[in-house]
Homo-oligomer: A and B are copies of this chain.
Amino acid sequence: MTQNIAVLGTGLMGAPMARNIAAGGYQVTAWNRTAAKARALADAGISAAQTPAEAVEQADFVISMLSDGKALLALLEEEALQKALRPGTLWIDMSSARPGEARAAAERLLGIDVGFIDAPVSGGPGGAEAGTLAIMAGAAPEDFEKARALLATMGRPTRVGPVGAGQLAKLANQAIVGIAIAAVAEATLLLERGGADPAGVREALRGGFADSTVLQLHGARMQQRDFTPGGPARLQLKDMENVLSEAGELDLPTVRQTRDRYARYLSELDGAERDHSGLFEELLDLNGLLTR
């Protein structure tokens, strides 16, 4: 029997994800705050609902792709939605939220016998369209097995622990990327000042221990002084703040130093809307070498 999927939030990410779910043979009902965005999916056989409650009332699974965890928790407070959800439904939140927000959502839904998975993604709109998102799922093992085929229509799902662990994995991802940018910035400056060709070095290091997408992609942006986002530094700073907030008493010195430098990039160098690889500009400024 065809399973019914409610997709809540069909923006830049949610829309292509809904299309991939429908293409996978599921019956999809979509809701979006700006209703036109949900209606625009009609050509893929996706019904548009007027309210979240209407979207979820027949759903076997709910997929939410909202702006953040606050938006998720606010939605779950709606009485009409709570009444519309059927016991046994599994709610999969694919937004980026805080681990504590994921756990709070799970607890809220437990009371009405609705399961919960936090499954944030990495890969951006390109990955969403191609159906190649990395999906980090925090879930009970049996819930993950139930959701696996559905998640696989959108990308590559991996269970990384219990509820909340998906969001924690996403934070770990962001921390590694932010620090990798700092490392590649320092390597690039060293090479430029020493008369080596950073593009040649990136090519030479391809496939080795120092290689990464950050080296190849963000390293090229640094060399070309092209800081058109991409991922804006403002969001990278927010990510680093969230990592430290989640870490609580834990001391993570490299995250801390990188967070401070992103903060300086925004406050002193107007970096908020520049690409996160613009941390290279902060490094140049630190060395009295920044010219714009």
A residues within 8 Å of B by Cβ?
A: 99, 122-123, 134-136, 138, 156, 158-162, 164-165, 168-169, 171-177, 179-180, 182-184, 186-191, 193-197, 200-201, 203-215, 243, 246-247, 250-255, 257-258, 261, 283, 286-287
Ranked nearest first, the 7 interchain pairs of A and B with the lowest CB-CB distance are: A158-B204, A165-B196, A179-B183, A161-B196, A172-B187, A160-B200, A176-B210
Task: Identify 14 residue pairs between A and B in the complex whose beta-carbon atoms are under 8 Å apart, listed by A's number.
Answer: A134-B204, A134-B207, A136-B205, A160-B204, A161-B196, A161-B197, A168-B196, A169-B205, A172-B196, A193-B247, A209-B212, A209-B213, A253-B257, A257-B257
The verdict on A180 contacting B180 (CB below 8 Å), with A201-B169, A205-B134, A246-B190 known, is yes
CB distance from A23 to the nearest CB of B (A): 22
Q: Choose among B161, B186, B210, B214 the residue that contacts A195 (Cβ–Cβ < 8 A).
A: B161
> What are the residues of chain B within 8 A of A135 when measuring CB–CB?
204
In the complex, chain B residues whose CB is within 8 Å of the CB of A160: 196-197, 200-201, 204
Asked, given contacts A99-B194, A176-B183, A190-B243, whether A204 binds B286 with beta carbons under 8 Å apart, the answer is no
* Cβ contact within 8 Å between A158 and B203: yes
Residues in B neighbouring A122, C-beta threshold 8 A? 205, 208-210
A189 touching B123 in the complex, CB below 8 Å, given contacts A158-B204, A165-B195, A180-B210: no
In-complex Cβ contact of A186 among B158, B189, B211, B254 (8 A): B254
- Which residues of the other chain, B, contact A246 by a CB distance below 8 angstroms? 190, 194
**Contact in complex: A194, B210 (CB < 8 Å):** no
- Complex interface: chain B residues within 8 A of A206 (CB): 134
Cβ of A183 and Cβ of B254 under 8 Å apart? yes
Contact present for B204 and A208 (CB under 8 Å): no
- Most chain-B CB neighbours within 10 Å: which of A156, A193, A207, A210? A210
Beta-carbon contact of B191 and A168 below 8 Å: yes
CB proximity of A113 to chain B, nearest CB, Å: 24
Given pairs A168-B191, A180-B210, 18 additional interface contacts (CB within 8 A)? A134-B204, A136-B204, A136-B205, A160-B201, A160-B204, A161-B197, A164-B195, A165-B194, A165-B200, A165-B201, A168-B194, A173-B187, A173-B208, A175-B190, A176-B180, A180-B183, A190-B243, A194-B246
- A134-B208, A212-B212 given; A253·B286 CB < 8 A: yes
Knowing A158-B200, A164-B194, A179-B182, the reply to whether A209 touches B173 (Cβ < 8 A) is: yes
Tell me whether B187 and A175 are in contact (CB under 8 A): yes
A184 proximity list for chain B (CB < 8 A): 176
Rounded to whole Å, the gap between the CB of A69 and the closest CB of chain B is 15
